[in-house]
Chain A
Amino acid sequence: GAVVSQHPSRVICKSGTSVKIECRSLDFQATTMFWYRQFPKQSLMLMATSNEGSKATYEQGVEKDKFLINHASLTLSTLTVTSAHPEDSSFYICSARGPQLAKNIQYFGAGTRLSVL
């Protein structure tokens, strides 16, 4: 199956700093990538959908100026949490879908555990 790599797997940062998370499709071109957030023992909540070369579409209630998403190439999307605060601590997961894949097929990365001190 298709492989999606997410980096880093875990990051600890100080309050007020920015953190960048990378999501790469290793063996296919990802025209669409999704970013999810998951709190402990809770479900995945879609934050935004990004299409290569265009602006991301954010879900209601997600601050686009705080969670910056860039999808500049067909194999890489980044999520930057700006001015992180302790309440941003969460598990962030990306998924990717390629042009050759059906729209209903997405492959997930392993996730990034963000801890803001």
Chain B
Amino acid sequence: QQQVKQSPQSLIVQKGGISIINCAYENTAFDYFPWYQQFPGKGPALLIAIRPDVSEKKEGRFTISFNKSAKQFSLHIMDSQPGDSATYFCAPYSYNFNKFYFGSGTKLNVKP
């Protein structure tokens, strides 16, 4: 049962452009909505996260937009840089089940 659907699967953006990655979920019991960044051969690292009582959170060039009614949240990377090239995962968390539900991942390639 796939509870988290992430899109697109891959994304190519020019340096300075905006990267947008979307995550849709089915379980309304999720309590925390993080995005993780993973470089090849490394473990994921928390990039930015949002709680369901907030519609938007910005940290530097990274912004999460959260739409509770649509059960969607997205990651926006402003002024994308080649160093942002990585795989990004949404991973909503359920306190009740004590688990993160990882999306399928989006491979971002920022061209110089």
Q: Are A93 and B105 in contact (CB under 8 A)?
A: no
Interface string of A39-73 (1 = CB under 8 A from B): 00111111001000000000000000000000000
Known: A43-B102, A108-B44, A111-B42. 6 other contacts (CB 8 A): A6-B43, A9-B41, A43-B89, A95-B43, A105-B46, A110-B43
Contacts of B45 in A (CB 8 A): 108
Nearest A-chain residue to B92, judged by Cβ = A104
Asked if B31 is at the interface of the complex by the 8 Å CB criterion, the answer is yes
Q: Among the listed A6, A103, A110, which residue makes an inter-chain contact with B98, where contact means beta carbons less than 8 Å apart?
A: A103
Q: How many residues of A contact B (CB 8 A)?
A: 23
Tell me the residues in window 89-108 of chain B with beta carbons closer than 8 Å to chain A beta carbons.
89, 91, 93, 95, 98-100, 102-105, 107
CB distance from B59 to the nearest CB of A (A): 14
A15–B42 alpha-carbon span in the complex (Å): 25
- B44→A93 contact, CB < 8 A: yes
Taking CB as reference atom, which chain A residue is nearest B4?
A43
CB distance from B99 to the nearest CB of A (A): 6
**Would you give the shortest CB distance from B105 to chain A, in whole angstroms?**
5
Asked whether B98 lies within 8 Å of A46 as measured between CB atoms, the reply is: no
A43 touches B105 (CB 8 A): yes
Interface string of B12-48 (1 = CB under 8 A from A): 0000000000000000000110101000011111100
Which of A44, A103, A104, A105 has a CB less than 8 Å from the CB of B44? A44
Known contacts A103-B95, A111-B41, A111-B42; A44 and B31 CB within 8 A of each other: no
Q: Is the Cβ of B103 less than 8 Å from the Cβ of A43?
A: yes
Closest to A109 in B: B43
Central interface residue in B32, B42, B89, B99, by most chain A CB within 10 Å: B42
